[in-house]
Structure 1
Amino acid sequence: MYERAFDHAWVRDNMPGQELRRQKKAFWKGAMRTGIVAAVVLAVVSSLAVVAFRNADRAVRAEALAKSQRDQARYDAYVASMRTLPSIWKTANLESMQTVLNSTRDNPARGWEWEFWNHLANDALAFTSETAGGFMPKVSPDGRTFASRSGGTLKLLDTDDLRVTKSLSVPGRSYFVNWTPGGNLVTQTSGPSGAGILINAATGRVVKKLGSYCFTMTPQGVSPDGRFTICADSQLGVKVYDLQAGTLRPLPIHANLFNLGYPAAAFSRDGEQCALAVFEPAARSRSARVGIAIFRTSDWRKTRFFPISDHVFALAYSADGKSLAAGSSGGMVYLLKPETGEQAARTRADAEEVYQASFSSDGRSLATSGADRVVKLFRVGPKSLDLTAKVPGANWVEYLPGGRIAASYRNLRVVDPSRYVVDVEQIYDACRSAEI
């Protein structure tokens, strides 16, 4: 019985140190089990790490590729934008140029060419959009104030910084306005054919109703003493309007309103002469003989007639009254001598109409503007008009005191004409060649 109860297995299991051996065996068994599990976990984690590192590498490479593609796209967009600017410059559309420049202002690829075009598009001593919607802002006789009308609102602006000094409500809805030396303004109640009114520039109050005539809106269209202005009736008959007496004096000519909307007229600075764009009474057609008539204001007798083959839109006297500039519907500019009746010079200033002409105070320079929205600056010689510079972005121009010029299309700018050249693209090409 004892042999069966205490057999060899029992003896082996109950020998001294056997418990320690059992614990060792259990320990190593657990250690092996733990090691196997750890190895499996390590293998899984390692596999995940390898996959993660591979994905991270792919992500880095994808990010680098995306960044490269983004930078290339930005560069391509920048280059494409810069390539459009010369053609926009040719159309003299500064607003579109500014839009393109603003869209690329923060582009990392921005280079010297951006600065070049930005300088051209924003090279103004003063700038305002307050005159948008108006038609030909007018400079006061003292050169200190602009007047601009749009609808029923009349705005007065300082010529130095283009700050709005006064905004007035005026009767009717029009965009024509013209200064008189006494500080009043001639305007219409509704466009060029509405009733004329004389309003006080300080208060906007109507000083006098002038009747239903089409009044001239050229800058020198009111005599220096503020007495006379020129208007046309519904039959194109030209009349001298006495602003002080309120009387009319008809002249034996007909106004040339071809596409202009009002008679082109200019008084000399001494008030002794008045130039009018007219056509001869015998034939009222576009093919009729047109020209410029010079009247002596003391008795309103015609003293000169300059036949001009095109319809005249712009008229301006030099300060000494010895020269008269005329701009035509055919894009021509004429330099005329009222005293001698001589046509001293003529040159092409525009592919289409010339709307405005203005002499500098010394009479040595002439600025013109027209349908191509580029102001042309000419050096005036005894018998020559030499192009010296172009100022883009304006179809209206007028010289200001100090040699500055006011230029307007939708927005109004005051610029220094000495900063401009005839062909800016030649300078651009030279800069580009130097950069390369």
Structure 2
Amino acid sequence: MLTGHTGAVFAVAFSPDGRWLASAGADSTVRLWRVSSTGRPAPTPAKVLTGHTDFVNCLAFSADSTTVVSGSDDLTLRLWNVPPGRPAAVLTARGGSVRAVAFAPDGHTLASSGNDGVIRMWDVVRARMTGSLGQHAGSVRGLAFSPDGRSLASSGNDRTVRLWDPLRRRLVATLTGHTRAVWSVTYAPDGRTIASAGNDGTVRLWDLAIPDRVAALCRVVGPVDRERWQRLLPGYDYTRTCAA
């Protein structure tokens, strides 16, 4: 058990190289714990990172484990060098509390979102926002890049999981089925399946071949409504990927 935070802990993340554990929470700090070769973190943090002025809600490491990003209710994202935990940059989101962050596998692209539902893209090297993808109809709670970095999944209070093309900056599919807010989303290592966790008490698994099939159906047979979906793709939750 690791102690030291003076309030609720909202986020934890291991670095991809397994050498660091980061934690963050209501005390406005990010704590870096050194992990031994046996996989056990040291009992005291190697560094307490300060600078945020409100709750820290989310964390993510870069693929090379040299940077950790934190998102906060203070409307900022902070990039920290690992080690030794020096602040590398402060990015201002402006659109409300930051609830979700994700690094792309390339290590220099970052996605963030939060209470305003807008998904923002950042260039970490230049420390600037490069644009936005679109938005949910409510707060975004989860973000995850696919292992190849060609897709970004988001989930939120609007009960949907959305798939985005981060290069073309467009919505690819909206996955529906959860009946309450969707708190988190993640890709399987092979990138072919997404798992989402909802406030409705369910974990849902999504076959990513389905949006491609539906998009093909839209091109061939036109709009696919719920009735037609059940005839063409029985057994799968309805996904509205073209005008119906």
Bucket of the pairwise TM-score, normalised by the shorter protein:
0.7 to 0.9
Decide whether aligned partners of structure 1 residues 255 and 391 sit closer, same or farther in structure 2, where only a CA change above 3 A counts.
Answer: farther
Q: Are 1:236 and 2:37 counterparts? A: no
- Specify which of 274, 277, 292 is matched with residue 71 of structure 2: 277
Structure number with greater Rg is: 1
User: What SS does the aligned partner of 1:246 have?
Assistant: coil
Q: Are 1:397 and 2:185 counterparts? A: yes
- Contact in 1 for aligned 2:111/2:121 (Cα 8 Å): yes
- Contact in 1 for aligned 2:22/2:30 (Cα 8 Å): no
Letter in 1 for 2:224: I
- Specify which of 304, 312, 321 is matched with residue 107 of structure 2: 321
- Contact in 2 for aligned 1:295/1:301 (Cα 8 Å): yes
- Specify which of 244, 253, 259 is matched with residue 51 of structure 2: 253
Query: What CA distance in whole angstroms lies between the structure 2 residues aligned with 1:400 and 1:417?
Result: 11
- Contact in 2 for aligned 1:349/1:368 (Cα 8 Å): no
Q: Select between 323-332 and 221-230 the one with higher mean Cα deviation.
A: 221-230
- Please give the residue correspondences for 1:69-218 in structure 2 after superposition, counting only pairs within 5 Å: 197=1, 209-211=2-4, 213=6, 214-217=8-11
1:107-161 alpha-carbon deviations (Å, 9 max, x no partner): xxxxxxxxxxxxxxxxxxxxxxxxxxxxxxxxxxxxxxxxxxxxxxxxxxxxxxx
1:164 matched residue in structure 2 = none
Q: Are 1:300 and 2:85 counterparts? A: yes
Decide whether aligned partners of structure 1 residues 252 and 390 sit closer, same or farther in structure 2, where only a CA change above 3 A counts.
Answer: same
1:359 matched residue in structure 2 = 145
- Specify which of 151, 155, 165 is matched with residue 369 of structure 1: 155
2:76 matched residue in structure 1 = 291
Query: What CA distance in whole angstroms lies between the structure 2 residues aligned with 1:418 and 1:397?
Result: 17
- Contact in 2 for aligned 1:376/1:387 (Cα 8 Å): yes
- Contact in 1 for aligned 2:72/2:99 (Cα 8 Å): no
- Please give the residue correspondences for 1:44-63 in structure 2 after superposition, counting only pairs within 5 Å: none
Decide whether aligned partners of structure 1 residues 413 and 235 sit closer, same or farther in structure 2, where only a CA change above 3 A counts.
Answer: closer
1:406 matched residue in structure 2 = 195
1:416 matched residue in structure 2 = 207
Tell me how large the CA RMSD over aligned residues is: 2.7
- Contact in 2 for aligned 1:256/1:312 (Cα 8 Å): no
Query: What CA distance in whole angstroms lies between the structure 2 residues aligned with 1:347 and 1:379?
Result: 8
Long gaps (5+) in structure 1: 1-196, 198-208, 280-288
**How far apart are 1:408 and its partner, in Å?**
2.5
- Contact in 2 for aligned 1:215/1:229 (Cα 8 Å): no
Query: What CA distance in whole angstroms lies between the structure 2 residues aligned with 1:402 and 1:303?
Result: 32
Letter in 2 for 1:415: W
Letter in 2 for 1:412: V
**How far apart are 1:431 and its partner, in Å?**
4.2
TM-score of the two chains, using structure 2 as the length reference: 0.74
Letter in 1 for 2:71: A
2:172 matched residue in structure 1 = 388
**How far apart are 1:242 and its partner, in Å?**
3.6
- Specify which of 62, 69, 85 is matched with residue 268 of structure 1: 62
1:201-240 alpha-carbon deviations (Å, 9 max, x no partner): xxxxxxxx4345533436xx222214221234x6433333
User: What SS does the aligned partner of 1:363 have?
Assistant: coil
1:366-390 alpha-carbon deviations (Å, 9 max, x no partner): 0000001110100111xx4210101
Decide whether aligned partners of structure 1 residues 231 and 431 sit closer, same or farther in structure 2, where only a CA change above 3 A counts.
Answer: closer
2:238 matched residue in structure 1 = none
User: What SS does the aligned partner of 2:224 have?
Assistant: helix
1:173-225 alpha-carbon deviations (Å, 9 max, x no partner): xxxxxxxxxxxxxxxxxxxxxxxx3xxxxxxxxxxx4345533436xx22221
- Contact in 2 for aligned 1:355/1:370 (Cα 8 Å): yes
Decide whether aligned partners of structure 1 residues 298 and 270 sit closer, same or farther in structure 2, where only a CA change above 3 A counts.
Answer: same
Q: Are 1:427 and 2:224 counterparts? A: yes
TM-score of the two chains, using structure 1 as the length reference: 0.43
